[in-house]
Amino acid sequence: VIGVSVVAPNVARVMAIARVEPLTTARALRGPFDYLLPRGMEEVEVGAVLRVPFGGRRMLGVVVEIADRSELDAERLAQPIAALESGVPAELVRLGLWTAREYCSTPARGLRLVLPPITPGGRLRRSRNGTDDPGADIEVGASARPVHLSGAQDSAVEAIVRAVDGGGAERELLLHGVTGSGKTEVYLAAATAALERGRGAIVLVPEIALTPQTVGRFRRRFGDTVALLHSQMSPGARADEWRRLRDGAARVCVGPRSAAFAPVSDLGLVVIDEEHDPSYKQEGDPRYDARRIAARRAAEAGAALVAGSATPRPESWLAMRRLELPSRVDGRRLPPVELVDMRASRSPGPLAPRTLEALRETAGLGGKAIVLLNRRGWAPFLCCRSCGRAFECPRCDVSLVLHRRAERLTCHHCGHAEEVPNACPECGSVTLARQGAGTERLEAELAGALEPLPVFRFDSDSAAGGAHGAILTRFEQAGPGVLLGTQMVAKGHDFPDVMLSVVLDADATLRFPDFRAEERTFALVSQLAGRSGRGERGGRVIVQTLSPEAPSIAAAARHDAAGFLAGELRRRKELGYPPFSHLIRIGLAAAERGDALGVARRLAEALDAALPADSELLGPAPLFRLRGRHRQQLLVKSLDRGAGIAAVRDTVERAAHERALRGAALSVDVDPQ
DNA sequence: AGCACGCCGACT
DNA sequence: GTCGGCGTGCTC
């Protein structure tokens, strides 16, 4: 009977039905919807993008299934208007739909992730000349040829190649190696092996702008076989690269988190470089984790998964087989780390005398220094000395940050900016206190204290408009000098004559009320330490802190990732935090405080009934107001990941249709970071 | 999300 | 007597 349906007595014919998921953003609207494929469109397959009539309008939709019958009567079915030139491989349709379900989003939003850039008119984008260079910044210091590998690198490559060839349980590997231990060369060798076997590779890197050196090495080694996908490319260039991958002209994709969805067929290898990097979590709906997507793709394709880091996540440390690269390829030891206890410091500014002295010594030796202060602007707080009035964002419950050069008070959460006041609007006093120090103020203090040494500020203010490269190049060419900035200074680049790294206020990340605070602090301090001493003259590290005994800071000072992770995993187990449980955050936001709270309470009730017994529901708990929206959150802690997600997904889907729950915008974050 | 259909106040 | 408010519901 398959393929045949009886339409009228004695009349049987084959029907080709396309089940189509319309590409809309609405939560309450989801398909699939059935369309009758007319003669000439029988070739349409899963993954085709169709223009279809939909509710009196036209819409784009993705074919998620081909069927031979429909629940609906044939005469009620509409026919697609056209099929777009670009189709998505069926395995990516499955991946997009899985992502939507896993992250409690909608099918349409999940499918968007696997589609190439499509114009509003429904055409696949094309670059103007067709040869748009996606890279632009070919790198220095990278060999185009394979280099001689160390013994540790060799065994790592061997283990990965075994996994590519079908290593069974050992398909997921953690490449743990300090900065400079040659992880990239291992990735390159593994990718070469995959290509030799006719398999493709995906290499995920943190934000491209901050990791040009890794990208450059892949392009130099593999040339046109590499496709590069990232958000700063024009949509046309991205579509070109996407098509080169889909058609098999390129077999290796290098890119940020979105590259986890690249159309690479016969995948043999998936690499996640700097696997601890927070940019792998998408902060918009669907809030997917590219590391989890990568793991799923690798599992489905029987590919090797390689997560590399000097500071791995506890999750990966626990679950993956470890490959160790214990030493730097240049044979140099890691730089000694000195903790400066700021509780004992009498210095009025952010710099301890000890730190200034070390900076001067370094300059005297002709070396460079990197200083990390994870706070932008001149001063993070401004208040009236007479009446104590604080200057806060009108739309968010946070204080405004003084940016002196821009002559603005700005909100770092919503972008609100206002003029710097001359007097207090409450009491008229003209003495306003600027409290604390950010990178802008530190730049001025350092330039004054170290004159005539050049000081380069590297943060998202100074690097606005793509000035990243220009600042780093000036620092590189300057001879002795200081690169000062936010966590951007800790990533990607590599200058051999950096002899001193300094972390100021290393506790800043520890003060966040977040179970990942220790993990983040350890990673940040370790990364910055790794920037120092990569040249023949060696290096040193200074960490200014108010809590030198904190496990993350003490372990980073000893370069002891294993010790830190063992302790951190013990703590997580005691508290029942990931990886020993799974967290799902549900956020509610509304213009009125009461609406957010009301909806949160109602949702909590519904969730409570739906969640499995071994899960825990926390909240509603208030969050600070953001962009004029009052916020509440619920937190689900679940032992059974699948059951927890399913309960939240069902509850949220039902809520989308319930009037009482429409008063607040809802967002779901599975595995919140 | 759009866009229709469907019942109650101020206009030619 | 009509135009129009957006509440509710549907879109293959």
- Kind and range of the H or E element at A450? helix A439-450
Mean model confidence pLDDT for chain A: 90
Nucleotides of strand C lying closer than 7 angstroms to a protein CB: 8, 10-12
Q: At a CB cut-off of 8 Å and minimum separation 6, what does A612 contact?
A: A638, A640, A643, A644, A647
**pLDDT number for residue A212:** 73
**pLDDT number for residue A393:** 96
The per-residue DSSP string of A551-568 comes to HHHHHHHTT-HHHHHHHH
**pLDDT number for residue A521:** 96
**pLDDT number for residue A111:** 96
Comparing A509-513, A538-542, A616-620, the range with the smallest average pLDDT is A509-513
| Measured CA A58 to C1' B3 distance, in angstroms | 12
Which nucleotide across the nucleic acid strands is nearest to A20, CA versus C1'?
C12
**pLDDT number for residue A120:** 61
Neighbours of A169 (CB within 10 A): 7
| Measured CA A659 to C1' B7 distance, in angstroms | 20
* Residue pLDDT, tens place only, A32-68: 999 999 988 988 999 999 999 998 888 999 999 999 9
Band (A144; pLDDT cuts 50, 70, 90):
low
A209 has pLDDT over 90: no
Beta carbons of A93 and A52 less than 8 angstroms apart: no
Joined together, the tokens standing for residue A346 give 């009498």
Footprint of strand C on the protein (CB under 7 A): A 28-29, 32-36, 52-55, 70, 72, 76-78, 659
For residue A370, the 8-state DSSP code is: E
**pLDDT number for residue A126:** 66
Instruction: Output phi, psi for A117, to 5 deg.
Output: -60, 130
Q: What mean pLDDT do residues A149-155 have?
A: 95
**pLDDT number for residue A1:** 33
Comparing A144-148, A238-242, A281-285, the range with the smallest average pLDDT is A144-148
Tell me if residue A291 falls in helix, strand or coil: helix
Which nucleotide across the nucleic acid strands is nearest to A25, CA versus C1'?
B1
Instruction: Output phi, psi for A574, to 5 deg.
Output: -60, -40
Instruction: Output phi, psi for A213, to 5 deg.
Output: -70, -40
- CB neighbour burial string for A70-96, b if at least 16 within 10 angstroms, e if fewer: beeeeeebeebeebbebbbbbbbbebb
- From residue A101, how far is each of A49, A262, A366, A647 by CA, in Å? 21, 19, 56, 11
Which nucleotide across the nucleic acid strands is nearest to A55, CA versus C1'?
C11
| Measured CA A660 to C1' B1 distance, in angstroms | 19
A507 has pLDDT over 60: yes
In chain A, how many H helices and how many E strands?
A: 16, 29
| Measured CA A77 to C1' B6 distance, in angstroms | 27
**pLDDT number for residue A494:** 78
Neighbours of A435 (CB within 10 A): 12
A617 has pLDDT over 50: yes
Joined together, the tokens standing for residue A198 give 């006719």
Joined together, the tokens standing for residue A281 give 């979590």
Nucleotides of strand B lying closer than 7 angstroms to a protein CB: 1-4
Which nucleotide across the nucleic acid strands is nearest to A27, CA versus C1'?
B1
Neighbours of A622 (CB within 10 A): 15
Band (A143; pLDDT cuts 50, 70, 90):
low
Q: What is the C-alpha to C-alpha distance for residues A82 and A64, in angstroms, rounded to an integer?
A: 16
Closest of A568, A567, A562 to residue A310, by C-alpha: A562
Give the dihedral of Cα atoms A135, A140, A146, A151; nearest 10 deg.
Answer: -120
Most confident of A268-282, A477-491, A647-661: A268-282
- For strand A172-177 and strand A615-626, is the pairing parallel, antiparallel, or unpaired? unpaired
| Measured CA A35 to C1' C12 distance, in angstroms | 6
**pLDDT number for residue A661:** 77
A162 has pLDDT over 50: yes
Joined together, the tokens standing for residue A551 give 């496990």
- Report which residue is nearest nucleotide C7 when distances run from CA to C1': A659
| Measured CA A257 to C1' C2 distance, in angstroms | 58
Tell me the percentage of chain A whose pLDDT exceeds 70: 93
- Report which residue is nearest nucleotide B1 when distances run from CA to C1': A26
Pairwise pLDDT comparison (A146 vs A137), residue with the higher score = A146
Which nucleotide across the nucleic acid strands is nearest to A70, CA versus C1'?
C12
Which nucleotide across the nucleic acid strands is nearest to A28, CA versus C1'?
B1
Q: At a CB cut-off of 8 Å and minimum separation 6, what does A545 contact?
A: A339, A340, A341, A342, A503, A505, A506, A507, A553
Q: What mean pLDDT do residues A393-417 have?
A: 95
| Measured CA A483 to C1' B1 distance, in angstroms | 48
A124 has pLDDT over 70: no
* Residue pLDDT, tens place only, A621-663: 999 999 999 999 999 999 999 999 999 999 988 887 777 777 7
| Measured CA A657 to C1' B7 distance, in angstroms | 23
Footprint of strand B on the protein (CB under 7 A): A 24-29, 55-57
Q: What mean pLDDT do residues A364-379 have?
A: 96
* Residue pLDDT, tens place only, A321-370: 999 999 998 888 899 999 999 998 777 778 999 999 999 999 999 999 99
**pLDDT number for residue A579:** 97
For residue A361, the 8-state DSSP code is: H
A337, amino acid identity: V
| Measured CA A14 to C1' C9 distance, in angstroms | 34
For residue A148, the 8-state DSSP code is: P
A2 has pLDDT over 50: no
| Measured CA A25 to C1' B1 distance, in angstroms | 7
pTM: 0.93
A235 has pLDDT over 60: yes
Comparing A1-5, A205-209, A517-521, A586-590, the range with the smallest average pLDDT is A1-5
